[in-house]
Amino acid sequence: MGLTRRLQNKRVMGLAKEEKDLKDIRIGFDVGGTFTDGVMMRGREVLSKVKSLTTEDVTTGIVNALDVLLKSEKADASEIAMVSLGTTHTTNAIIERKNLNKVGIFRLGAPATTAIPPLTGWPEDLKEAIGGKENMFIVRGGKEYDGRDIVPLDEDAIRDACKKIKGKVDSVAVTGVFSPMIPDQEERAAEIIREELGDIHITLSNHIASISILERENSTILNASVINVMRTAIEALKKATKDRGITAPLFIVQNNGTVMAADYAVNYPIFTVASGPAASVRGAVYLSGVDNGVVVDIGGTSTDVAYIVDGFPRESSITVTIGGVKTNIRCPDLMSIALGGGTMVKTKGNQVIGLGPESVGHNLVRLGKSFGGPIITTHDIGVATDIIDEKLDIFDTDFAPCIDKVKALDKGLVEQAHQKIKETIEVAIDQMKTAAGDTKAIFIGGGAMVVPKKNLQGVSDVVSPSHFEVCGAIGTTIAEIGAYAEGIADLEIEDRDTAIEKVVEKAKDEAEKAGAIRDSVEILDVEEIPFAYMPGKREKIRIKVKGKIF
């Protein structure tokens, strides 16, 4: 499909700034399935932290956490310079098929592409929830890779379609063939749709994702379907912060762990679907100061392993399924394994015959050996091998009220289980590495305290930062804006540097729109992907950037 060459020497645009400490007070929230975490930060100092229950509407849980932080009186509302939020509003809406927009779907591509129409492979209930096939049109248009029209855009067909869907849809998704390279047909289509339907929200696919039309179109339609969900959430939070005397701007965490201004995020809710794990990775980086290595996030039932490159989670190259729909949204490359603090160690006599995948989960405090229960878990092996010897904040009780029971376990069995847990972690870390050699590993999450961390194969250093239990919330407060842009170049005509420069400018524009100071924007990655089987020297250029908010 093409070759990828990453430039080894990343060129930093503008001035490479020393990471200045963020002196201002920042507040961040990370909405999880069970808990909504919140932190109040000054620089790297955690002034106050909270774990509050996630509510069904999500927003109430966030506001509750906000109130706890403000009541800590570590800072006055007026001192707060930034409020940021990693949220599951959009993911939940898509998964539950709730409060979705009715979407008018336009594909610019006929006579090509008709073999596989939009919404192919979608779950029926989700199709229905966004208004179904009646609002879907494949109109003549689209681009070739070299910039020619497949055929000229059929503007009349767009107008006719608009007349049919007027009043039936409250959001529109437009996807044109090769629009990530040449967006002008999508932009023209948007103009026409606005003329016909007035002030309706339009999502253009070239703003959403990259080459691979079916997945990009799916991503675009999903984005259009959660516009209202995101808008409602942001309005509610803006009101809540304003009511509490906070004048600071609101930012929303996106899938790579950077943030975007709330008013920008309203247009790109789909960029938040994987923000939770990304925020944790960024928090781990921030707390540990390690910006290349692996992050091992160990919970009660499972462990997520992510690889960090220059402070950001590595992106997944495979399609990401959201609510049963294949997308090519850029998401962190995460590996989940069934190992957590509550994972069951299966035994036969004094032999260990298996590890998990079952976990006692939050019943650890009833079922685990350390707590007088019948089941041997990762936690108990940690207790037996003295890895954990102090009480954890997350447990109300002591870490091992029945320590005698654990100490009575067969030594050989404990050693076998210990080795098995250690190996499981080692293999997971090794699988996520991109090159041979040892790597640094940052351990976070509630289960991190009970697993072996010494002499891990392939690991040079283990870092266990403090405040790991609110890592995600801390990650939201880093105050960096992420953006990217793509372009296509013909190196037989264009100078390579000029071509790259052009895309860099585009990426900077996007970063600025998302809330970054333009001068602070630096390049994270330059990727050039030549087109295979093509004569000439055409390639796709993809630039990732980040910039600062203050």
d(CA 404, CA 384): 10
| Residue 281 touches another protein, criterion: CB under 8 A | no
* Stretch of 74-82, 109-117, 470-478, 508-516 contacting another protein, by CB under 8 A: 109-117
* Stretch of 19-27, 209-217, 354-362, 449-457 contacting another protein, by CB under 8 A: 209-217
Which of 397, 434, 457, 460 contacts another protein by CB under 8 A? 434
d(CA 485, CA 34): 35
| Residue 534 touches another protein, criterion: CB under 8 A | yes
d(CA 219, CA 251): 22
Measured from the CB atom, the residue of 39 and 428 that comes closer to another protein is 428
Restricting to residues 373-392, name those near another protein by CB under 8 A.
Answer: none
Which of 110, 246, 451, 511 contacts another protein by CB under 8 A? 110
* Stretch of 58-66, 122-130, 297-305, 531-539 contacting another protein, by CB under 8 A: 531-539
Residue 39 parent element (H or E) = strand 35-42
Contact 145, 179 (CB under 8 A): no
Please, what sign has the CA dihedral across residues 286, 289, 290, 296? Answer: negative
Measured from the CB atom, the residue of 453 and 538 that comes closer to another protein is 538
The site string for another protein over 318-347 (x = CB under 8 A, - otherwise) reads x-------x---------------------
**Rounded least distance, CB 45 to another protein, Å:** 36
DSSP code per residue over 420-469 = HHHHHHHHHHHHH-SSSS-EEEEEESGGGGGS--SS-TTEEEEE--TTGG
Please choose, from the candidates 69, 22, 23, 70, the residue with its C-alpha nearest in 3D space to the C-alpha of residue 245. 70
| Residue 537 touches another protein, criterion: CB under 8 A | yes
Pairing between β-strand 103-110 and β-strand 80-86 as defined by DSSP bridges = unpaired
| Residue 419 touches another protein, criterion: CB under 8 A | no
Tokens coding 421: 């847990």
Measured from the CB atom, the residue of 74 and 537 that comes closer to another protein is 537
Tokens coding 333: 């490359």
The site string for another protein over 175-194 (x = CB under 8 A, - otherwise) reads --xx----------------
Residue 497 parent element (H or E) = helix 496-513
| Residue 133 touches another protein, criterion: CB under 8 A | no
**Rounded least distance, CB 195 to another protein, Å:** 28
| Residue 496 touches another protein, criterion: CB under 8 A | no
| Residue 525 touches another protein, criterion: CB under 8 A | no
| Residue 148 touches another protein, criterion: CB under 8 A | yes
- The residues, any chain, with a CB within 8 Å of residue 167's CB and separated by 6 or more, are none
| Residue 466 touches another protein, criterion: CB under 8 A | no
**Rounded least distance, CB 417 to another protein, Å:** 22
Measured from the CB atom, the residue of 211 and 444 that comes closer to another protein is 211
Which of 292, 397, 419, 431 contacts another protein by CB under 8 A? 431
d(CA 358, CA 361): 9
| Residue 1 touches another protein, criterion: CB under 8 A | yes
Phi then psi for 139, rounded to 5 degrees?
-105, 160
| Residue 103 touches another protein, criterion: CB under 8 A | no
The 10 Å CB-count burial string (b at 16+, else e) for 334-372 is beebebbbbbbbebeeeebeebbeebbeeebbebbbbbe
| Residue 268 touches another protein, criterion: CB under 8 A | no
Residue 504 parent element (H or E) = helix 496-513
The site string for another protein over 214-253 (x = CB under 8 A, - otherwise) reads x---------------------------------------
Please choose, from the candidates 63, 55, 93, the residue with its C-alpha nearest in 3D space to the C-alpha of residue 229. 93
Please, what sign has the CA dihedral across residues 315, 318, 319, 322? Answer: negative
Measured from the CB atom, the residue of 395 and 531 that comes closer to another protein is 531
| Residue 292 touches another protein, criterion: CB under 8 A | no
Tokens coding 347: 């035994």
Which of 53, 116, 394, 408 contacts another protein by CB under 8 A? 116
**Rounded least distance, CB 81 to another protein, Å:** 39
Tell me how many residues contact another protein (CB under 8 A): 47
| Residue 146 touches another protein, criterion: CB under 8 A | yes
Which of 48, 67, 99, 145 contacts another protein by CB under 8 A? 145
Measured from the CB atom, the residue of 79 and 124 that comes closer to another protein is 124
d(CA 283, CA 261): 19
* Stretch of 184-192, 228-236, 237-245, 431-439 contacting another protein, by CB under 8 A: 431-439
d(CA 329, CA 316): 9
SS3 content of the chain, % helix, strand, coil (to 5): 35, 30, 40
Beta bridge partners of 135: none
What does the DSSP 8-state code read for residue 315?
Answer: B
Contact 427, 363 (CB under 8 A): no
Which of 212, 232, 347, 385 contacts another protein by CB under 8 A? 212
CA geometry: angle at 332 spanning 331 and 334, to 5°? Answer: 125
d(CA 503, CA 544): 10
**Rounded least distance, CB 446 to another protein, Å:** 27
**Rounded least distance, CB 526 to another protein, Å:** 14
| Residue 136 touches another protein, criterion: CB under 8 A | no
The site string for another protein over 301-320 (x = CB under 8 A, - otherwise) reads ----------------xx--
| Residue 354 touches another protein, criterion: CB under 8 A | no
Tokens coding 483: 């953006």
d(CA 129, CA 125): 6
Which of 84, 87, 88, 113 contacts another protein by CB under 8 A? 113
Q: How far apart are the first and last CA of the chain?
A: 40
Which residues in this chain contact another protein in the complex, by CB under 8 A?
Answer: 1-5, 109-117, 120-121, 142, 144-146, 148, 150-151, 177-178, 211-214, 317-318, 326, 430-436, 530-537
